[in-house]
Structure 1
């Protein structure tokens, strides 16, 4: 099916689909064999979207989610892949989530903190990635603990160790990978949140574009494409978000 030219123009007004890729979440994207081109689930989804729009793709690579959000909001990128959050939703229209990721806490092995409820205490300082989904969430939820913001999500554990903080918060896979590098750290079993990863486009691009993006993501879920990408990239500990019934087509 031939797309309405207005849809293509809404997604790629420059003639190229510029996609914000966040390297701060290794589940979604990372530097592969070619340092000039990242690989990962979000890169593959973006490539497929550009193919269906029949436009070339340009990757706008960022080291933090907050920078990716800003790039889409200010028009420096056309589409991005982020965790759904009401603060971000003011300017960005999100699709239904395509991936569910656990946000967890990490502590020193000798810490007396064993449950999520014990974290929100006045004597606890919690390291988070500045502007990350769990930063936004914990800023709303924590009433007593102090939040200490690291520059990027991958720098959270380094900040936790350097500043001798009591708790670090982040994506389970990232924290578990960091914990394996040290003998005296542990990740709490229960997640404190489920991070809903979605695609997003600036609201100013119009409702037709955001609906098209939502249909596209849902089709990838229902066709098994997201499952295949998880397997292809060897990502463990994540799940595909439930599909949402839609009418229409994204071909």
Structure 2
């Protein structure tokens, strides 16, 4: 065995201790880390991005304040965190941008979790799962989506959502018309500006129930979409807290009650069997 001089051992130990101390000093203490949660608590507000003109998920009430299913969810989350909600109205593409730029802490806006979106932001587990259905006027000559697949027919949907890809896959030859909101697309259908509207299956059921004499659906469900809360990527603790809240919200029955209040029918199963 070779013997290392005591003086050299002492120097090596001191150097090791110095390197360890330097490394540890570069890691912030847990309670001192800059995180979305700590910013929310310090600020006293939860900044929530949502969209207008998307009932019954979210819309502006007569007083100009946001109302709807997603809005009630945001209020419940803020209450759980003991802060006040602060709503930021965005368009469909803005739901992502506002999280990337950290101008909002969460997005609750009928927001589908997709692989493409998940490369730039994060999502919780879903609180509802929807499909996509083509709605037409009652007196429309259209009977199937296959008939709709013709350049002479126009499909309306809001810009920046998943409807664009779904419409392109289901009826690639049809003429596509983009609108700022779901509500705008619906008005365009009723006024004859478009021949069909592609929309969330839950919204579809709600609006169809209100005007059964004027509207009907074309057969088929054209998507499977998990509606989730969006949040900035990279903050695991913030995701962990929100995801735990969603799990409890779903399991407690509170989601089912809130859903029925806004949609008028029972919440279908969130986890589907394949």
TM-score normalised over the length of structure 2: 0.72
Is 2:179 the counterpart of 1:150?
yes
Where does residue 104 of structure 2 map in the other structure? 77
Where does residue 46 of structure 1 map in the other structure? 74
Where does residue 221 of structure 2 map in the other structure? 191
Where does residue 115 of structure 1 map in the other structure? 144
Which one of 48, 60, 63 corresponds to residue 35 of structure 1? 63
Report the RMSD for the aligned CA atoms in angstroms. 3.2
Q: How does 1:1-251 map to 2 (within 5 A)?
A: 6=35, 8-9=37-38, 14-32=43-61, 35-62=63-90, 64-81=91-108, 82-139=111-168, 142-160=171-189, 164-172=193-201, 174-175=203-204, 177=207, 185-204=215-234, 206-236=235-265, 238-242=267-271
CA contact (8 A) 1:102 1:238 kept: no
Query: 1:46 offset after TM fit, Å?
Result: 1.5
Structure 2 unaligned blocks of 5 or more:
1-29
**CA 196–59 in structure 1, closer or farther in 2 if over 3 Å, else same:** same
Q: How many residues in Structure 1 have an aligned counterpart in Structure 2?
A: 238
Query: 1:130 offset after TM fit, Å?
Result: 0.9
> Which structure: larger Rg?
2
**CA 221–181 in structure 1, closer or farther in 2 if over 3 Å, else same:** closer
**CA 23–95 in structure 1, closer or farther in 2 if over 3 Å, else same:** same
Query: Which whole-Å CA distance do the structure 1 matches of 2:260 and 2:192 have between them?
Result: 37
Structure 1 unaligned blocks of 5 or more:
244-251
**CA 232–165 in structure 1, closer or farther in 2 if over 3 Å, else same:** closer
**SS in structure 2 opposite 1:233?**
helix
**CA 117–95 in structure 1, closer or farther in 2 if over 3 Å, else same:** farther
